[in-house]
């Protein structure tokens, strides 16, 4: 099985969130099953040295999007196809935002170029002779890759099948209808059964309409997306394709997130040597300048600071957390109001609350390895990865019962306690009152060392790898061979 992954991010090269982790880890897991995967991403500046040492395999200039090339390179266990177009991608910082913090005004062109090259490689393949490679499946991730399946299906019949995965329905790739001609699309595609979405173009909708199959990143989120509350306007489109739509749970790269060998930790540990873990807690408290006794729980947050993540509710209940004698360390970046709110809270309680505004991969590992509990009070959460890292590192997740959080954490309720299966704390619905009660329950449980350490060991042994989900993707790809050659065409 040959699969072309198409995405805007891939760890460790370019990462703003969980998408990058998945686009990096899933190909490696698929490789274990015998599949051959190439990952197509834009050649941002962080990839310049790989472009310089790579092999140029393809060159296109369709007049609309300019000179586009594909450079092949191998790095970090991945086979990369880098879309090389300096006029579109050679910009520093965040892959989507300019220095003013707003979307780049030509994002429709930047990601149309990604879709265009994906469709070309899916149709014609790359390389020559023995090293030629043509994918059986084009797998588009999120709106940035959404035009890939559309361009492929709107051209002459092609053998490659298509899958689109929704990592977060909140990002829909909306652009004004005046961009239609610039994208080299015709008004035929611009209607309600095509890529028109309430008068705009939606790249995500293009990916959903023209893909043979649609997936999202957890079974619960797949069900939620069919409701107006979570579907964000796409519930009808997804409902119409419900037979082609499934949820497959994300996993964790067990080599990157491995407490037994993680170089970012002050001390490595596994479920059988939990006492070692306390050196990480001490290191974490030192780094944030906190003073917290070992009998008080240390909560942590590693997150984008946005409304989705519900951290405004955590701000609201901080007095309760402090009243219970607990501490908090937070690493994140995002909304100005949330950044200011947490910084002010840290200034008010400098020995109990520590805040780092920014992005720090290594510190995020230490936080999972040193804090007692990771708080994720999301209003919606397609899958969530930080609770999976928390499980693996014995940092018990305290989560809202939505999306993938509902699928991966077992709440310490009476039944789970009696059965000895709990791995964390859940609350529902997502309100600050329910969050505060969950924090209370967590603080109570923390006082019972035997209970807490039992939960830690169980959490650390909970399977969070990619094995079964990689098999599920492989089965999905294999099932596509039954789809007729002409695919779906409007
Ligand atoms: P989302 O994709 O919605 O941001 P996920 O939980 O799926 O949420 O993935 C977030 C990923 O980004 C995780 O790998 C998490 O550790 C990482 N992350 C988020 N914020 C930061 C930060 N400020 N510093 C380091 N890593 C971060």
| Per-residue pLDDT reduced to its tens digit, 109-168 | 999 999 999 999 999 999 988 889 999 999 999 999 999 999 999 989 999 999 999 999
In angstroms, the CA 108 to CA 192 distance is 19
Residue 386 CB less than 6 A away from ligand 1: yes
Residue 20 CB less than 6 A away from ligand 1: no
Do 312 and 239 fall within a single domain?
no
Do 214 and 296 fall within a single domain?
no
Residue 66 CB less than 6 A away from ligand 1: no
Do 69 and 214 fall within a single domain?
yes
pLDDT value, residue 189? 77
Residue 207 CB less than 6 A away from ligand 1: no
Centroid of chain to Cα 415: 32
Q: Which two tokens stand for residue 16?
A: 């703003």
In angstroms, the CA 328 to CA 52 distance is 44
Do 79 and 43 fall within a single domain?
yes
pLDDT value, residue 194? 86
Residue 359 CB less than 6 A away from ligand 1: yes
Quick check: is 265 in a domain? no
pLDDT value, residue 10? 98
Quick check: is 235 in a domain? yes
Ligand 1 atom at minimum distance from 15 CA: 12
The CA-atom distances, in angstroms, between 417 and each of 376, 387, 388 are: 21, 20, 20
Nearest to 202 by CA among 161, 162, 120, 144: 144
Do 450 and 342 fall within a single domain?
yes
Quick check: is 128 in a domain? yes
The residue whose CA is least distant from atom 12 of ligand 1 is: 17
Do 472 and 424 fall within a single domain?
no
Ligand 1 atom at minimum distance from 168 CA: 3
Quick check: is 374 in a domain? yes
Do 14 and 68 fall within a single domain?
yes
CA of 133 to the centre of ligand 1 (A): 33
CA of 304 to the centre of ligand 1 (A): 6
Quick check: is 256 in a domain? no
Do 436 and 338 fall within a single domain?
yes
- Long-range (24+ apart) CB contacts under 8 A made by 338-344 are 338/305, 338/306, 338/311, 338/312, 339/305, 341/312, 341/315, 342/305, 342/311, 342/315
Residue 18 CB less than 6 A away from ligand 1: yes
Return the C-alpha torsion angle 83, 216, 214, 33, nearest 10: 70
Do 337 and 217 fall within a single domain?
no
Do 284 and 245 fall within a single domain?
no
In angstroms, the CA 69 to CA 148 distance is 16
Instruction: Decide if 85 contacts 50 (C-beta within 8 A).
Output: no
Do 39 and 138 fall within a single domain?
yes
Quick check: is 114 in a domain? yes
Quick check: is 268 in a domain? no
CA of 160 to the centre of ligand 1 (A): 32
Number of domains in the chain: 2
Q: Write the CATH number for 7.
A: 3.40.50.2000
Do 410 and 450 fall within a single domain?
yes
* Core vs surface per residue 382-420: b (16+ CB within 10 A) or e: bbbbbbbbbbbbbbbbbbbbbbbbbbbbbbbeeebeeee
With a cut of 50, list the residues of the chain below it in pLDDT: 486-490
pLDDT value, residue 84? 98
Residue 361 CB less than 6 A away from ligand 1: yes
Instruction: Decide if 466 contacts 392 (C-beta within 8 A).
Output: no
pLDDT value, residue 484? 56
pLDDT value, residue 486? 47
Q: Which domain holds residue 236?
A: 2-251+467-482
Q: Which residue has the tokens 């230490």?
A: 366
Q: Which two tokens stand for residue 161?
A: 């099948």
- Model pTM score: 0.95
Quick check: is 260 in a domain? no
């Amino acid at each position: 099985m040959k699969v072309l992954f198409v995405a805007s991010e891939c760890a460790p090269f370019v990462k703003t969130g969980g998408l990058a982790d998945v686009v990096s880890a899933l190909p490696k897991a698929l490789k274990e099953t015998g599949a051959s995967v190439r990952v197509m991403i834009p050649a941002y500046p962080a990839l310049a040295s790989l472009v310089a040492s790579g092999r140029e395999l393809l060159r296109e200039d369709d007049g609309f999007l300019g000179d586009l090339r594909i450079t092949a390179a191998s790095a970090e266990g991945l086979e990369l196809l880098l879309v090389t177009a300096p006029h579109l991608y050679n910009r520093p910082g965040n892959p989507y935002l300019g220095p003013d913090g707003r979307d780049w005004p030509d994002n429709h062109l930047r990601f149309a170029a990604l879709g265009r090259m994906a469709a070309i490689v899916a149709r014609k393949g790359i390389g020559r002779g023995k090293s030629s490679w043509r994918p059986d499946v084009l797998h588009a991730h999120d709106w940035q890759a959404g035009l890939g399946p559309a361009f492929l299906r709107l051209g002459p019949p092609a053998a490659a099948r298509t899958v689109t995965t929704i990592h977060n329905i909140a990002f829909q790739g909306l652009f004004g209808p005046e961009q239609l001609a610039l994208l080299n699309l015709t008004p035929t595609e611009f209607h309600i059964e095509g890529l028109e979405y309430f008068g705009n173009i939606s790249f995500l909708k293009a990916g959903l309409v023209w893909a043979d199959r649609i997936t999202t990143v957890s079974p619960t989120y797949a069900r939620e997306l069919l409701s107006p509350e979570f579907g964000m306007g796409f519930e009808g489109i997804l409902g119409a394709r419900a037979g082609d739509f499934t949820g497959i749970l994300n996993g964790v790269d067990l080599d990157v997130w491995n407490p037994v060998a993680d170089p970012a930790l002050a001390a490595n540990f596994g479920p059988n040597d939990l006492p070692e873990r306390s050196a990480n807690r001490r290191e974490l408290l030192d780094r944030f300048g906190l003073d917290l006794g070992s009998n008080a729980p240390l909560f942590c947050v590693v997150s984008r600071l946005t409304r989705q993540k519900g951290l405004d509710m955590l701000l609201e209940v901080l007095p309760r957390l402090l009243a219970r004698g607990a501490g908090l360390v937070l690493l994140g970046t995002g909304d100005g109001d949330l950044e200011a709110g947490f910084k002010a809270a840290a200034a008010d309680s400098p020995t109990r609350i520590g805040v780092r505004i920014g992005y720090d991969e290594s510190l995020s590992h230490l936080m999972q390895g040193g804090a007692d509990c990771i708080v994720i009070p999301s209003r919606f959460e397609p899958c969530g990865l930080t609770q999976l890292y928390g499980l693996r590192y014995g940092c018990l997740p305290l989560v809202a019962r939505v999306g993938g959080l509902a699928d991966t954490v077992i709440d310490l309720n009476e039944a789970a306690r009696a059965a000895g299966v709990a791995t964390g704390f859940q609350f529902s619905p997502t309100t600050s009152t329910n969050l505060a009660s969950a924090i209370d329950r967590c603080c109570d449980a923390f006082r019972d060392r035997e209970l807490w350490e039992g939960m830690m060991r169980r959490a650390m042994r909970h399977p969070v790898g990619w094995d079964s989900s990689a098999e599920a993707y492989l089965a999905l790809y294999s099932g596509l061979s039954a789809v007729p050659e002409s695919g779906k065409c409007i």
